[in-house]
Amino acid sequence: MESPSEPQCRALSPWWGLLITASILSCWIQPTSAQVTVVPNPPYGEVNHNVTLDIQGFSGQALFYIWYRKAVVETNKIARYTVETGVQEPADIREKVLPNGSLLIPHLTLNDSDSYHVLIVDSQGNIIVAQGHLTVYGPLSKPFISSTNMAPVENMDNVSLTCQAEGQDVTYQWFINQSSPAGDRTVLSPDNRTLTIINVTREDQGPYKCEIRNPVSFNESEFTLNIIYGPDTPRIFPTTLNYPVGATIELNCSAESNPPAQFTWLNNGIQMASSSKLSIANVSLNHTGIYTCKASNSVTGLSSSKDINITVSERTTKPNLTANRTNVIENDTLAFTCGTKQAGVDILWLINNKSLNLSERMKLSMNNRTLTILSVKREDSASYQCEIRNPISSSRSDPFALIVNYGPDYIKVVPNPKKGEIEVKFKDSLILACHVESYPPAQYIWQVNGTVNSNMTTNIYFIQNVIWKDSGKYTCLAKNTVTNLSVSRDITIKVLGSNGSSLSGGVITGIVIGVLAGIILIGTLIYIQFFRKTKRVSKHQLSENHSARKHGEDNTLYENIGQLPGSALPAQQVLDISREDIYDKTLPWKKPEA
């Protein structure tokens, strides 16, 4: 009866005998029946839910629907449904055949997973058999994560995490910190169940999440790795290295480590404490030393340590600045000593509150304790201080006011004598001012014609109304009682008649000379008129003529002035010299013009 070209009937052939007993008479060729299938709706059964097994692809008029499980055999029959009567046999079962032939299975259990077959007899007497598979899935319980190493050691161990789930058709997915595993050191097994981390580091702690799914359910578990690491090099806090005597030293030590490190403190190799904290109250100088924090990891058996060099110092006290000379005279060699009994201090020197720039004439001893000034100069007069410093404090000595005694030198007479001579008119007043540089200020003695005039005790020699016999040799003598040096200058005063004539010899020759003097006066007046504008220039030139002279040789210089050209200027003009010229310490002498 079966046709070799008809797969439908061929499929039926094993059960043909049974079909006979089921009063099925014939197998008709049904070209369309190849597409008739049983399709679960929803596609997957879920425990405790319902499913409808729909017949799809059947378009005929059915007389009967007979449902089987596993195979179309009588013993596997679930129910027979007669369309005309709408009667299901047996009726008192869980499964219900619906009028359109679908099989409704309520309250699914995992055991309902199976293949289901339906045999349809249509109004033409055709027999169509269709089948489909129902899989019932239960809810997934949390997967169990197992690890190959519960305490992997950093940079040494590999760890494999395996996710174990119950149920079928479970798919696995791993997440590390919410993202998929990536990188060279993570490897997934082909079934995605096992995640291997190669050569773990402390950052690989996780959490690791395994997600499992089947078509109807989902669950997940997390796992955190307990990675053993450290101890890393300890850190010591605070990092203060210097403490004053009497302070309390409190040092805290920490080190990255799992499990947490155990700490010991050592001072110069001797154990001081067996905790992370070291506290020493009221420290003394002998607490200076190397302190070591040692951290150990009991699991790895490793340890690492860190040193801190602590220095305990006394607070500095004011040093005592002394000089090896009290009465300092220019060109002396002077040594300052910064007196302190404290060790381990740096010494600095200050001049007028600013740090000292060593000049060529200054030398510091090896430890800066002594400042030597070779050939002290007047400009070295200043306030000197020394300062001692250690890491915790600094102290300055009282200022030492250095006074350098010098001079007298740079003697100058105003008005400036020309050829050693000053001319003054009869009845005019004469003011001679003598200037020197000196400390302490010089004492002045005036001599006239070699005789001391004890009325004149300052640097000024003054005559109200000059008379003829006031002419003569005047000497300014300046004396410094500390340096015991003195300097003098001679000036020849010439008294001129009111018409300008010099009557030093008396009135006798006056008339004769007066005539000559008159001529000279006229000449002089012309000279004055003519050179008034160039007065300063002339003076300048004069200065230049004297420039090559050394100040120290002033007396010689004075002698030479008379022989120099341009020195015949009238006294009046010389008196015009500004006060700046008088006090200019560098003196206006310049090089003679070629």
- For binding to ligand NAG (CB under 6 A), which residues are involved? 52, 54-56, 98, 100, 102, 139, 141-142, 155, 157-158, 171, 173, 176-177, 191-192, 198-199, 203-204, 206, 217-219, 246, 282, 284, 286, 290, 307, 309, 324-325, 329-331, 333, 335, 372, 406, 409, 448-449, 469-472, 483, 485, 552
Q: Which is nearer to ligand NAG, 27 or 197 (CB)?
A: 197
Token reading at 312: 């305990």
Q: How far is the CB of 336 from ligand NAG (least distance, A)?
A: 9
Helix H or strand E encompassing 400: strand 400-402
What secondary structure letter does DSSP report for 497?
-
Helices H, strands E: what count in the chain?
7, 44
CA 466 – CA 471 distance, rounded (Å): 8
Q: Which is nearer to ligand NAG, 256 or 544 (CB)?
A: 256
Q: Which is nearer to ligand NAG, 11 or 329 (CB)?
A: 329
- Evaluate the omega torsion of the peptide bond into residue 139 and state whether it is cis, within 30 degrees of 0: no
Residue pair 236/268 in contact (Cβ under 8 Å)? The answer is: no
Residue pair 12/26 in contact (Cβ under 8 Å)? The answer is: no
Residue with tokens 């304790």: 369
> 451: Cβ–Cβ under 8 A, 6 or more apart, which residues?
none
Q: How, if at all, do strands 460-463 and 430-439 pair?
A: antiparallel
Residue pair 201/256 in contact (Cβ under 8 Å)? The answer is: no
Q: How far is the CB of 397 from ligand NAG (least distance, A)?
A: 18
Q: Which is nearer to ligand NAG, 339 or 566 (CB)?
A: 339
Q: Which is nearer to ligand NAG, 320 or 372 (CB)?
A: 372
Q: How far is the CB of 410 from ligand NAG (least distance, A)?
A: 10
Q: Which is nearer to ligand NAG, 130 or 176 (CB)?
A: 176
Q: Which is nearer to ligand NAG, 528 or 587 (CB)?
A: 587
Q: How far is the CB of 325 from ligand NAG (least distance, A)?
A: 4
User: Taking the C-alpha atoms of 552, 558, 560 and 561 in order, what is their torsion angle to the nearest 10 degrees?
Assistant: 120
Rg (alpha carbons) of the chain, rounded to whole number: 63
Count CB-CB contacts under 10 A for residue 301.
Answer: 7
CA 252 – CA 293 distance, rounded (Å): 9
Q: How far is the CB of 102 from ligand NAG (least distance, A)?
A: 4
Count CB-CB contacts under 10 A for residue 179.
Answer: 7
Q: How far is the CB of 355 from ligand NAG (least distance, A)?
A: 22
Q: How far is the CB of 459 from ligand NAG (least distance, A)?
A: 19
CA dist 425 → 123, 466, 514 (Å)? 171, 7, 14
Residue pair 208/222 in contact (Cβ under 8 Å)? The answer is: yes
Residue pair 499/424 in contact (Cβ under 8 Å)? The answer is: no
Q: Which is nearer to ligand NAG, 199 or 572 (CB)?
A: 199
The residue type of 274 is S
Q: How far is the CB of 18 from ligand NAG (least distance, A)?
A: 27
Count CB-CB contacts under 10 A for residue 532.
Answer: 10
Q: How far is the CB of 572 from ligand NAG (least distance, A)?
A: 22
Q: Which is nearer to ligand NAG, 27 or 380 (CB)?
A: 380
> Residue 308: CA atoms inside 13 Å, Cβ hemisphere, count?
24
Q: Which is nearer to ligand NAG, 449 or 538 (CB)?
A: 449
CA 316 – CA 320 distance, rounded (Å): 12
Q: How far is the CB of 528 from ligand NAG (least distance, A)?
A: 28
CA 3 – CA 202 distance, rounded (Å): 72
Q: How far is the CB of 59 from ligand NAG (least distance, A)?
A: 11
Helix runs in 131-182, H state only? none
Q: How far is the CB of 64 from ligand NAG (least distance, A)?
A: 16
Token reading at 355: 């740090």
Q: Which is nearer to ligand NAG, 19 or 62 (CB)?
A: 62
Q: Which is nearer to ligand NAG, 290 or 515 (CB)?
A: 290
